[in-house]
Amino acid sequence: MEQVKKQRILSGIQPSGTPTLGNYIGAMRNWKLLEDEYDCLYMIADLHAITVRQEPAKLRQQSMQLLALLLAIGLDPQKNVLFFQSHVPQHSQMAWLLNCYTYMGEMSRMTQFKDKSAKHADNINCGLFTYPILMAGDILLYQANLVPVGKDQTQHLEICRDIATRVNGLYSNVFTIPEGYYPKVGARVMSLQDPTRKMSKSDPDDCFISILDTPDTIRRKYRRAVTDSDGEIRFDPENKPGVSNLLSILCALTGQTIDELTASFAGKGYGELKAAVTDATIETLAPIQERFNQYMGDKAYLETVYRDGAARASHLAERTLQKLMKKIGYVQK
């Protein structure tokens, strides 16, 4: 019986800081759930990271930590391709080619460029402007069918699709047109101090839970989490964003529905809700942290994983790159 070809998924995460609980719930946890059903590539997006100035030693350390975290959440390096973006030079080559098929007007409409320019007004570099093109190259190099994205990345996926469609229209049958893969539960975890904004590792420390936070730190952050003054525990993101955020986190970590949770907290106070979210978070992160420490203590194994991942990723990427270069008219090597 002929084996059905699996659809391919590519996802990436920047090593610009320790991933948050929001990263875990919205993306990383779901990656483990995909590895048997899909052909998965998971990229540590270290090229993207330098649109903001990085300390060299810290960037190296955070990159290795992120690889160890991917393994710690259970990703099997035999079933998945785990690699550093910078170890696959085809990403940079593809980005240049796609730059020449993308218009300035398209890039100027990217809302994240405007947001990041406001945050980093002293470093509005060209990479910050064009990194959606690098992202498009990341995806298209591997002929990815699906890309797990949060709502804040939807615009970048759309420009990727536009570029791929444009190139296919000129040269025919070069790229697979990717679709977004949107998790149904817990895809958007909000800041603990400003629950109208997404939880981000670039925010002040008390705004987010890091995957590597200690139990004491997690307790402190949840105790200080913003709620409101009316005291009722109900899910109402518009009028009670802080309480609703805590309920969403608890829902994602326990598997209970929002209705089940609100019923269980009937007549109880915010302190009990915060305690429950704290306990669930600590229980979820403890085994991940234990495995993380084991992997960080075995640098030789980590090197084996990323070297093998780079070789496998390069093999796939080179096929697409050469296909496009031949279509454009380059002399084949």
Shortest CA distance to 71 belongs to which of 289, 272, 266?
289
Which residue of the set 32, 201, 268, 323 is catalytic?
Answer: 201
Which residue of the set 198, 221, 240, 274 is catalytic?
Answer: 198
Which residue of the set 6, 32, 58, 116 is catalytic?
Answer: 116
Residues 6+ apart with CB under 8 A from 169: none
**Residue 116 annotated among the catalytic residues of the structure:** yes
Residue environment code for 250-266, b if the CB has 16+ CB neighbours within 10 A, otherwise e:
bbbbbebeeeebbeebe
* C-alpha span between 153 and 149 (Å, rounded): 6
Beta bridge partners of 80: 40
* C-alpha span between 86 and 321 (Å, rounded): 16
Structure tokens at 161: 């699709």
Structure tokens at 326: 């031949």
Q: Could you tell me if 16 and 54 are in contact, meaning their C-beta atoms sit under 8 angstroms apart?
A: yes
Q: Which residues are catalytic?
A: 116, 198, 201
